Amino acid sequence: MATLELRRHADARAFLARAESWLLEADVERALALQGARQARVDEWRYEKPTYWATFEEDGRIVGCAFRTPPHHVGVTRLPPEAIPLLLESLKETYTVMSGISGAEPTASALAAVSFANRWRVTSRQWLWSIAAVEPLDAAPAGALRLATDADAAVVWEWGAALARDTGVPLDGRFCTGLLRAQQLYFWDDGAPRCMAGVQVRTQRSAALGVLYTPPDWRGKGYGTATVAAWSHETLERGTRCLFFTDAANATATRICRKLGYELVQEAVDIEFR
Protein backbone atom coordinates (compact mmCIF):
# COMPACT_ATOMS: atom_id res chain seq x y z
CA MET A 1 0.00 0.00 0.00
CA ALA A 2 1.29 3.46 -0.92
CA THR A 3 2.30 5.69 2.00
CA LEU A 4 0.76 9.16 2.11
CA GLU A 5 3.22 11.93 2.94
CA LEU A 6 2.68 15.62 3.68
CA ARG A 7 5.52 17.74 2.28
CA ARG A 8 5.90 21.37 3.39
CA HIS A 9 7.46 23.91 1.03
CA ALA A 10 9.31 27.02 2.15
CA ASP A 11 7.44 29.50 -0.04
CA ALA A 12 5.23 29.85 -3.10
CA ARG A 13 8.17 29.58 -5.46
CA ALA A 14 9.24 26.23 -4.01
CA PHE A 15 5.64 25.04 -3.95
CA LEU A 16 5.14 25.84 -7.63
CA ALA A 17 8.44 24.25 -8.57
CA ARG A 18 7.04 21.02 -7.15
CA ALA A 19 3.30 21.30 -7.87
CA GLU A 20 2.66 23.62 -10.83
CA SER A 21 2.59 20.89 -13.47
CA TRP A 22 0.14 18.88 -11.33
CA LEU A 23 -2.07 21.93 -10.78
CA LEU A 24 -2.14 22.59 -14.53
CA GLU A 25 -3.51 19.10 -15.23
CA ALA A 26 -6.87 20.39 -13.93
CA ASP A 27 -6.20 24.11 -14.10
CA VAL A 28 -9.76 25.28 -13.41
CA GLU A 29 -10.59 22.82 -10.62
CA ARG A 30 -7.27 23.74 -8.97
CA ALA A 31 -7.33 27.42 -9.91
CA LEU A 32 -7.55 28.64 -6.30
CA ALA A 33 -4.20 27.05 -5.44
CA LEU A 34 -2.59 27.81 -8.80
CA GLN A 35 -3.53 31.49 -8.89
CA GLY A 36 -2.85 32.01 -5.20
CA ALA A 37 0.64 30.57 -5.49
CA ARG A 38 1.45 32.47 -8.67
CA GLN A 39 0.44 35.73 -7.03
CA ALA A 40 2.36 34.95 -3.86
CA ARG A 41 5.46 34.01 -5.86
CA VAL A 42 5.61 37.67 -6.93
CA ASP A 43 4.62 39.40 -3.68
CA GLU A 44 4.58 36.95 -0.80
CA TRP A 45 5.89 39.78 1.40
CA ARG A 46 2.36 41.24 1.39
CA TYR A 47 0.96 38.42 3.53
CA GLU A 48 1.19 37.81 7.23
CA LYS A 49 3.69 35.17 8.28
CA PRO A 50 3.88 32.27 8.19
CA THR A 51 2.40 31.39 4.82
CA TYR A 52 1.63 27.72 4.27
CA TRP A 53 2.37 25.54 1.23
CA ALA A 54 2.02 21.77 1.29
CA THR A 55 1.66 18.87 -1.12
CA PHE A 56 0.33 15.42 -0.31
CA GLU A 57 2.19 12.66 -2.08
CA GLU A 58 2.03 8.91 -2.51
CA ASP A 59 5.28 7.29 -3.67
CA GLY A 60 6.42 10.63 -5.08
CA ARG A 61 3.14 11.33 -6.90
CA ILE A 62 1.11 14.40 -5.88
CA VAL A 63 -2.49 13.62 -4.90
CA GLY A 64 -3.51 16.99 -3.44
CA CYS A 65 -2.34 20.22 -1.84
CA ALA A 66 -3.15 22.83 0.79
CA PHE A 67 -2.03 26.41 1.25
CA ARG A 68 -2.64 29.61 3.19
CA THR A 69 -1.70 33.25 2.67
CA PRO A 70 -2.80 34.84 5.97
CA PRO A 71 -5.16 36.41 6.86
CA HIS A 72 -7.02 34.50 4.13
CA HIS A 73 -8.61 31.09 4.53
CA VAL A 74 -6.81 27.79 4.26
CA GLY A 75 -7.21 26.56 0.68
CA VAL A 76 -7.50 22.88 -0.19
CA THR A 77 -7.83 20.78 -3.30
CA ARG A 78 -9.64 17.48 -3.07
CA LEU A 79 -7.65 15.20 -0.74
CA PRO A 80 -7.86 11.52 0.18
CA PRO A 81 -9.61 11.05 3.56
CA GLU A 82 -6.42 9.87 5.25
CA ALA A 83 -4.82 13.27 4.49
CA ILE A 84 -7.21 15.12 6.81
CA PRO A 85 -5.53 14.24 10.16
CA LEU A 86 -2.09 14.93 8.68
CA LEU A 87 -3.18 18.35 7.49
CA LEU A 88 -4.98 19.19 10.73
CA GLU A 89 -1.90 18.36 12.81
CA SER A 90 0.34 20.41 10.52
CA LEU A 91 -1.99 23.43 10.57
CA LYS A 92 -2.31 23.35 14.35
CA GLU A 93 1.48 23.30 14.63
CA THR A 94 1.61 26.38 12.39
CA TYR A 95 -1.35 28.54 13.46
CA THR A 96 -3.25 29.32 16.63
CA VAL A 97 -6.01 31.18 14.72
CA MET A 98 -7.48 30.56 11.26
CA SER A 99 -10.31 32.42 9.55
CA GLY A 100 -11.80 29.54 7.58
CA ILE A 101 -11.38 27.06 4.74
CA SER A 102 -12.00 27.36 1.02
CA GLY A 103 -11.86 24.61 -1.54
CA ALA A 104 -13.07 21.31 -2.86
CA GLU A 105 -15.63 19.09 -1.22
CA PRO A 106 -15.81 16.81 0.66
CA THR A 107 -12.32 17.78 1.84
CA ALA A 108 -13.14 21.29 3.08
CA SER A 109 -16.11 20.24 5.22
CA ALA A 110 -14.28 17.18 6.55
CA LEU A 111 -11.38 19.35 7.70
CA ALA A 112 -13.69 21.92 9.31
CA ALA A 113 -15.68 19.22 11.11
CA VAL A 114 -12.69 17.69 12.86
CA SER A 115 -10.87 20.92 13.58
CA PHE A 116 -13.55 23.26 14.82
CA ALA A 117 -16.64 21.08 15.54
CA ASN A 118 -19.74 23.31 15.60
CA ARG A 119 -17.81 26.57 15.35
CA TRP A 120 -18.06 26.95 11.56
CA ARG A 121 -20.58 27.62 8.82
CA VAL A 122 -20.67 27.36 5.05
CA THR A 123 -20.99 30.88 3.60
CA SER A 124 -21.13 29.89 -0.07
CA ARG A 125 -21.27 26.76 -2.17
CA GLN A 126 -20.20 26.65 -5.81
CA TRP A 127 -20.60 24.00 -8.47
CA LEU A 128 -18.28 23.52 -11.43
CA TRP A 129 -19.80 21.97 -14.55
CA SER A 130 -18.10 20.64 -17.68
CA ILE A 131 -19.47 19.88 -21.14
CA ALA A 132 -18.13 17.92 -24.10
CA ALA A 133 -20.95 18.56 -26.60
CA VAL A 134 -23.90 20.95 -26.45
CA GLU A 135 -27.37 19.45 -26.63
CA PRO A 136 -29.30 21.20 -29.46
CA LEU A 137 -32.09 23.53 -28.38
CA ASP A 138 -35.66 22.81 -29.45
CA ALA A 139 -36.10 26.52 -30.08
CA ALA A 140 -33.92 29.57 -29.60
CA PRO A 141 -34.96 33.20 -29.20
CA ALA A 142 -34.19 35.74 -31.90
CA GLY A 143 -30.77 37.36 -31.78
CA ALA A 144 -27.19 36.18 -31.46
CA LEU A 145 -24.25 36.07 -29.11
CA ARG A 146 -21.69 38.87 -29.46
CA LEU A 147 -18.64 40.12 -27.60
CA ALA A 148 -19.34 43.17 -25.44
CA THR A 149 -17.61 46.39 -26.52
CA ASP A 150 -16.70 49.70 -24.91
CA ALA A 151 -20.03 51.06 -26.13
CA ASP A 152 -21.72 48.68 -23.67
CA ALA A 153 -19.85 50.00 -20.63
CA ALA A 154 -22.85 51.72 -19.02
CA VAL A 155 -25.05 48.64 -19.43
CA VAL A 156 -22.28 46.41 -18.08
CA TRP A 157 -21.94 48.56 -14.95
CA GLU A 158 -25.69 48.70 -14.38
CA TRP A 159 -26.28 45.00 -14.93
CA GLY A 160 -23.26 44.03 -12.84
CA ALA A 161 -24.61 46.08 -9.94
CA ALA A 162 -28.02 44.43 -10.33
CA LEU A 163 -26.43 40.97 -10.40
CA ALA A 164 -24.59 41.67 -7.15
CA ARG A 165 -27.82 42.91 -5.51
CA ASP A 166 -29.77 39.87 -6.67
CA THR A 167 -27.24 37.25 -5.63
CA GLY A 168 -25.18 38.79 -2.85
CA VAL A 169 -22.08 37.66 -4.77
CA PRO A 170 -19.54 40.45 -5.48
CA LEU A 171 -19.63 40.01 -9.28
CA ASP A 172 -20.62 43.66 -9.50
CA GLY A 173 -20.25 46.45 -12.01
CA ARG A 174 -16.54 46.85 -11.33
CA PHE A 175 -15.91 43.12 -11.75
CA CYS A 176 -17.95 42.92 -14.96
CA THR A 177 -16.22 46.01 -16.36
CA GLY A 178 -12.92 44.21 -15.79
CA LEU A 179 -14.22 41.30 -17.86
CA LEU A 180 -15.28 43.75 -20.57
CA ARG A 181 -11.77 45.18 -20.76
CA ALA A 182 -10.31 41.68 -20.89
CA GLN A 183 -12.67 40.75 -23.75
CA GLN A 184 -14.29 38.10 -21.59
CA LEU A 185 -17.83 39.48 -21.51
CA TYR A 186 -20.65 38.65 -23.92
CA PHE A 187 -24.22 39.71 -24.67
CA TRP A 188 -27.12 37.96 -26.29
CA ASP A 189 -28.29 40.76 -28.57
CA ASP A 190 -31.82 40.85 -29.99
CA GLY A 191 -31.80 44.42 -31.25
CA ALA A 192 -30.46 45.37 -27.81
CA PRO A 193 -28.71 43.42 -25.01
CA ARG A 194 -30.97 40.82 -23.43
CA CYS A 195 -28.56 38.64 -21.40
CA MET A 196 -24.96 39.07 -20.17
CA ALA A 197 -22.40 36.30 -19.69
CA GLY A 198 -18.83 36.56 -18.44
CA VAL A 199 -15.84 34.23 -18.48
CA GLN A 200 -14.56 34.09 -14.91
CA VAL A 201 -11.48 31.95 -15.63
CA ARG A 202 -9.57 31.59 -18.89
CA THR A 203 -6.39 29.56 -19.22
CA GLN A 204 -4.40 28.21 -22.15
CA ARG A 205 -6.57 25.10 -22.28
CA SER A 206 -9.80 25.96 -20.47
CA ALA A 207 -12.51 28.61 -20.18
CA ALA A 208 -15.07 28.78 -17.40
CA LEU A 209 -18.19 30.91 -17.47
CA GLY A 210 -18.95 32.49 -14.11
CA VAL A 211 -21.36 35.35 -14.79
CA LEU A 212 -24.86 35.01 -16.20
CA TYR A 213 -27.47 37.74 -15.84
CA THR A 214 -30.78 38.48 -17.54
CA PRO A 215 -32.75 41.59 -16.42
CA PRO A 216 -36.20 40.82 -14.99
CA ASP A 217 -38.09 42.12 -18.05
CA TRP A 218 -36.37 39.57 -20.30
CA ARG A 219 -36.45 36.49 -18.10
CA GLY A 220 -38.38 33.38 -19.07
CA LYS A 221 -37.79 33.91 -22.79
CA GLY A 222 -34.84 31.55 -23.26
CA TYR A 223 -32.13 34.19 -23.49
CA GLY A 224 -29.99 32.71 -20.70
CA THR A 225 -30.09 29.21 -22.14
CA ALA A 226 -29.33 30.49 -25.64
CA THR A 227 -26.40 32.56 -24.33
CA VAL A 228 -24.78 29.64 -22.51
CA ALA A 229 -25.41 27.29 -25.46
CA ALA A 230 -23.86 29.65 -28.01
CA TRP A 231 -20.84 30.48 -25.85
CA SER A 232 -20.29 26.79 -25.05
CA HIS A 233 -20.48 25.84 -28.72
CA GLU A 234 -17.97 28.54 -29.73
CA THR A 235 -15.62 27.53 -26.91
CA LEU A 236 -15.69 23.85 -27.86
CA GLU A 237 -15.20 24.71 -31.53
CA ARG A 238 -11.91 26.37 -30.58
CA GLY A 239 -10.78 23.13 -28.96
CA THR A 240 -10.95 24.67 -25.49
CA ARG A 241 -12.18 22.81 -22.42
CA CYS A 242 -15.56 24.33 -21.56
CA LEU A 243 -16.79 24.83 -17.97
CA PHE A 244 -19.35 26.81 -15.99
CA PHE A 245 -19.19 27.99 -12.36
CA THR A 246 -22.60 28.32 -10.69
CA ASP A 247 -23.89 29.04 -7.22
CA ALA A 248 -25.40 25.84 -5.87
CA ALA A 249 -28.51 27.76 -4.83
CA ASN A 250 -29.11 29.10 -8.36
CA ALA A 251 -31.85 26.80 -9.66
CA THR A 252 -32.01 28.58 -13.03
CA ALA A 253 -28.33 28.05 -13.75
CA THR A 254 -28.61 24.40 -12.68
CA ARG A 255 -31.55 23.89 -15.02
CA ILE A 256 -29.64 25.45 -17.93
CA CYS A 257 -26.60 23.27 -17.29
CA ARG A 258 -28.62 20.07 -17.21
CA LYS A 259 -30.64 21.04 -20.29
CA LEU A 260 -27.50 21.68 -22.36
CA GLY A 261 -25.66 18.54 -21.25
CA TYR A 262 -23.25 19.92 -18.65
CA GLU A 263 -22.06 17.47 -16.01
CA LEU A 264 -21.11 18.37 -12.43
CA VAL A 265 -17.37 17.83 -11.91
CA GLN A 266 -16.64 19.59 -8.61
CA GLU A 267 -18.31 21.16 -5.60
CA ALA A 268 -16.44 23.82 -3.63
CA VAL A 269 -17.30 25.75 -0.49
CA ASP A 270 -16.22 28.75 1.54
CA ILE A 271 -16.32 28.00 5.26
CA GLU A 272 -16.06 30.64 7.95
CA PHE A 273 -14.94 29.89 11.48
CA ARG A 274 -16.94 31.53 14.24
Instruction: Write the pLDDT tens digit of every residue in 89-121.
Output: 999 999 988 889 999 999 999 999 988 656 899
Out of 82, 117, 152, pick the residue that ends a domain: 117
Structurally, the chain folds into a number of domains equal to 2
Quick one: 26 and 83 in the same domain? yes
Asked if residue 147 and residue 223 are part of one domain, the reply reads yes
What CATH number has the domain bearing residue 176? 3.40.630.30
Whether residue 26 is found in the same domain as residue 81? yes
How many Cα neighbours within 13 Å face the side chain of 117?
Answer: 0
What predicted TM-score, i.e. pTM, was given to this entire model?
0.89
| 110 and 146 fall within a common domain | no
The pLDDT, as a whole number, for residue 118 is: 65
* 111 and 185 co-located in one domain: no
CATH (domain of 48): 3.40.630
On the question of a cis peptide bond just before residue 106, with omega within 30 degrees of 0, the verdict is: yes
pLDDT band at 1 (very low <50, low <70, confident <90, very high): low
Summarised one tens digit per residue, pLDDT across range 118-175 is: 689 999 999 999 999 999 888 889 999 999 999 999 999 999 999 998 887 778 889 9
Is residue 205 within 8 A of residue 34, CB to CB? The reply is no
pLDDT at residue 175, rounded to an integer: 92
β-bridge mates for residue 193, sequence order: 189
pLDDT of residue 138: 86
Range of the domain at 66: 4-117
